[in-house]
Amino acid sequence: MTAIVILKAGQMIDEETLLKRVREHLSPFKCPKRIIFAETMPKTATGKIQKAKLRAELAGIYRT
């Protein structure tokens, strides 16, 4: 599982620190393997996140 995070303006955190904080609050099976920081997410005209487009863009992350 991968989490895509959009930080608020002026906020800074690295992937390792964020994963550590998440692990303090969630069960291990609910924690993401990786966190990707993004500026924006693709949205439809009605404002919903286009999950299929995100999956297509990030399909190669776990391929070796």
Q: What average pLDDT does the segment 12-37 reach?
A: 91
The correct CATH number of 2-57 out of 3.30.300.30, 3.40.50.1220, 1.10.3720.10, 3.40.50.300 is 3.30.300.30
pLDDT over 60 (residue 63): yes
- List own/partner pairs for 13-18 with CB under 8 A and 24 or more apart: none
- pLDDT score for 64: 56
Task: Determine what percent of the chain is predicted with pLDDT higher than 70.
Answer: 95
Name the nearest CA neighbour of 18 among 28, 29, 32, 30.
32
Tokens 């390792």 map to which residue? 16
Domain range annotation of the chain: 2-57
What pLDDT shows up at residue 54? 87
The percentage of residues in the chain with a pLDDT greater than 90, rounded to a whole number, is: 52
Residue 37: CB atoms within 10 A of its CB come to: 13
Distances (CA, A) of 1 to 8, 11, 41, 43, 52: 22, 24, 17, 21, 15
